[in-house]
Chain A
Amino acid sequence: MQKNQRIILYILLLIAGASWVALSADKTGASTSGNIPAPQVGFAAPDFSLKTPTGESYTLSELRGQAVLVNLWATWCPPCRAEMPTIEAMYQEYKDQGFVVLAIDMTYQDDPFAVVPFTEEHNLTFPILLEETGDVAALYQLRSLPSSYFIDREGIISEVVIGGPMSEALLRTRIEQILK
C-alpha cells in the first residue's frame, strides 16, 4: 500500500472511530450502576434489616448519610476474629465523623451461643447483627469470610474487600474514602 493510501485509511478509520465515540455517548446506560442494588463497587448496597442478639433492629437504608462498613463474619473464622479488634479501634476513632459498622454474623452457619461471648471478650461496641436465614448472605453473594463492603454516604459501595484480616492502614484508607 502506498503512503498516501495508508494516510487516507488512517484518517477514515479515525473519523469512523470518532463517530462511534459520539454515537455511543450515553448518559443513562453507561454508568448508572449506582441505581441498581448489587454487591459490587459502584452499585447501591443491597438493603437488609437484621436484629442484634438483644432484639434491636437495624436497616441499612436508614443509615443513608453515614459511612457504613458492612462486615460479614463468623466466630469460627480465624481472620474474622483477628480483624475485629482493629475494626473496633477504627470505629472508636471515626464514629463521631459518621462512621458506622454493621458486623453481620453468619448465624445460620455459626454457633449462635458463641456470638455474645466473643463480642464481650473483645469489647466490641458496634452493632453485631444475626443473619439466621442466609438471605443476606445470598443478597451479598457471599463467597468467603470475612467479606467487607465499604458504603459511602450516598449508599453506594465504594470498595469490597474479600478475605482478611484487614490491616489498620487498609481500614483507615477505605474509611477516610467513604467519609468524604
Chain B
Amino acid sequence: MILLVIAAWIGLSLAEKRAERHGIHKDDLNNVIFYGLVAFILGGRISFVLQNLPTFLKSPIGIVSINPDIFDAFGGLAAALIAAFIFGQRRELALWPTLDALTPFLAILSIGMGLAHLAAGTAFGKVTDVAWGINLWSATRHPTQVYETLASLLIFGLIWFKKHDPRPGILFLTFAALTAAAQLFLQAFRGDSTLILNSLRQEQVIAWLVLAICFIFIETRFKSSPKAETDSAAIHVK
C-alpha cells in the first residue's frame, strides 16, 4: 500500500510537469486524480457491501468498519473511472488530451504495482529451474514481479522520452498498447493464472483484446484532425 501511495505521488508530480503540454491545467489534472481516488475508495467499499448485502444487513456497522479487506478492487476501479469521466464532462475536458496528461501518472503507478507485488509476494511466477529464479512460496519461481517492474520501467522510459506527438490520444494509446503487450508476454510465466477454455490464461486473452482495441483507436486517432482537438483543449489552460 505504501509503495502504491509513493508511486501515486511521484506519478502525479511528473504528470503535472507535462500536463500543459497536452492542454490540460494541472489543477484539473489534480482534481481528476483526487476525485478518482476518492471514488475508488468509496466505490470499492460500496461494491463489496452490495455483493455481500445479506451479510451487511445482519451487521450494518460493518459497512463503516476500518478493515481494509472489505473492498472490491474492480468495483473501486469502475467507480474511479465514472467519477473521473463525470468530472471531465463537467469541466469540459477533452478526453484524449486528458488521458495523455494522465499517462505519466499511470505509468509510474504501474511501476509501483510491480514493486508492491514483489513486496507482498503476490502475482507470483510458475515453478522454474532458471538460474535467476527466486525462492518464493515453497518453490523456485520465475521472478514475475521483477519482470513486471522492469517492463513498467521500460514503458515509462519510452513514453517519457518519446518525442511529443501533437495528435491527442497517441501517447496514452501507446502506453496502453505497450502495457497490454507486456502483460500478454509476461503472463506466460505466472503461476497464479485463471485458466479458460481448458488451458488458455484468461489474463493473456484480455491483454490480447486490449492490444487489438488499442490498435483500432490508434488508427482512428491518426485519421482525426490533431489541430482542432489541441485547440479545443487549449481553451481550458487559460
Interface size on B, residues (CB 8 A): 46
Question: Do the beta carbons of A30 and B126 come within 8 Å of each other?
Answer: yes
A114 beta carbon closer than 8 Å to chain B: no
What A residues does B190 contact at CB under 8 A?
Answer: 30
| Interchain pairs with CB closer than 8 A, number | 123
Nearest to A6 among chain B residues (CB) is B219
A96 beta carbon closer than 8 Å to chain B: no
Shortest beta-carbon distance from A157 to chain B in Å: 11
* Docked pose: A168 CA to B127 CA in angstroms: 38
Tell me what chain B mostly uses at the interface: helix, strand, loop, or mixed. mixed
How many residues of A sit at the interface, in one of the four size bands? 35 or more
Shortest beta-carbon distance from B133 to chain A in Å: 13
Interface residues of A in 153-180 (CB under 8 A from B): 159, 161, 166-170, 172-173, 176
What B residues does A168 contact at CB under 8 A?
Answer: 58-59, 61-62
What A residues does B56 contact at CB under 8 A?
Answer: 169
Shortest beta-carbon distance from A173 to chain B in Å: 5
Select B137's contact among A23, A25, A43, A170, beta carbons within 8 Å.
Answer: A43
Show the binding face of B for A, using Cβ within 8 Å. 48, 52, 55-56, 58-59, 61-63, 65-67, 69-70, 121-122, 124, 126-127, 137-139, 181, 184-185, 187-188, 190-195, 198-201, 204-205, 207-208, 211-212, 215, 219, 222
Given A29-B191, A31-B192, A161-B69, list of 7 further CB < 8 A pairs?
A13-B211, A13-B215, A17-B211, A20-B185, A169-B52, A169-B55, A169-B70
